[in-house]
Amino acid sequence: MIDLSQYRGIIFDMDGTLIDSMGSHQDAWRAVCEEYGYPWDEDYMYSLGGVPTLQTVVVLNEKYGMSHDPVEVAARKKLLWEEGDHTPKVIAETFAVFEHYRPSMKIGVGTGAERAHAVEMLTDTGILPRIDALVTASDVENGKPAPDTFLQVALQLGLQPAECVVFEDTQIGAKAAAAAGMDYVIVKDGKIQC
């Protein structure tokens, strides 16, 4: 088990870090890209994991020189995702960390997902009643890579940023953790990278 004894709190990203739901998001994004004419680049889209949906559309417009309405495209992505199979399941390695440290540490979730989605996923997996804080894209003005999400989780946990460690699956999330003054651990394809 990874030694986190120097910290007082753990902050988990949700999609792709604590809960395996990235596949269903990728399927929805692939369909949206096809509908709106964005070139599909699976690795690039995965690298945007944790970025709020609305901001992802802004990034895609900038990258590909398009001017689609971000609200319209984000709503379409949400609809396609809701229509798809998105039965959540926990990611074994990170959930083992959660289980191991839950009795002795405060635990929060900081996600780029909208609040309704996060609550649904965390409820379906039984995690929601077991965490001490939840901050979503709906709760902050500036999503990842800004530090706001993780700083807000630390505040809700009653901890200083340096007392927290973040588990993230994207470089954008890692940048947000670093900007918040927190150490981070990368999770890649469900495996903790030490």
The pLDDT, as a whole number, for residue 128 is: 96
Strands 191-193 and 183-188: antiparallel
Residues 15, 106 share a domain: yes
Residues near 172 by Cβ (< 8 Å), separated by ≥ 6?
47, 48, 49, 50, 51, 144, 145
Q: pLDDT-derived band of residue 15, with 50, 70 and 90 as boundaries?
A: confident
DSSP helix/strand/coil, 36: helix
Domain boundary residue among 83, 103, 129? 83
User: Higher pLDDT residue, 87 or 100?
Assistant: 100
CATH of the domain at 141: 3.40.50.1000
One domain for residues 66 and 100:
no
Query: How far, in Å, CA of 57 to CA of 183, rounded?
Result: 29
| Same-domain pairing of 100 and 114 | yes
Query: Is residue 165 within 8 Å of 13, Cβ to Cβ?
Result: no
- Looking at residue 46, its pLDDT comes to 79
Residue 121 domain-assigned? yes
Q: Is 13 a catalytic residue?
A: yes
d(CA 27, CA 67): 22
Query: Is 4 within a domain?
Result: no
Q: What is the Cα–Cα distance from 154 to 159, expressed in whole angstroms?
A: 5
Residue 24 is predicted with a pLDDT of 76
Annotated catalytic residue within 3, 13, 27, 189: 13
Instruction: Provide the CB-side half-sphere exposure for 15 (13 A, CA).
Output: 28
The answer on 172 and 106 residing in a single domain is yes
Q: Assess whether pLDDT exceeds 90 at residue 51.
A: no
Q: What is the pLDDT of residues 76-91, one digit of tens each?
A: 998 998 887 767 889 9
Which two tokens mark 130?
Answer: 């077991």
Residues 35 and 116 in one domain: no
Instruction: Report d(CA 123, CA 143) in Å as an integer.
Output: 22
Residue ranges making up the domain that contains 122: 9-21+88-193
Q: Both 31 and 95 in a single domain?
A: no
Based on the fold, state whether residues 36 and 128 are members of the same structural domain: no
In this structure, is residue 101 part of a structural domain? yes
Residue 138 banded pLDDT, cuts 50, 70, 90? very high
What's the whole-number mean pLDDT along residues 144-161? 97
Is residue 55 a part of any domain in this protein? yes
**How many domains are there within the chain?**
2
Tokens 């981070």 locate to 184
SS3 188: strand
The answer, as to whether pTM is greater than 0.85, is no
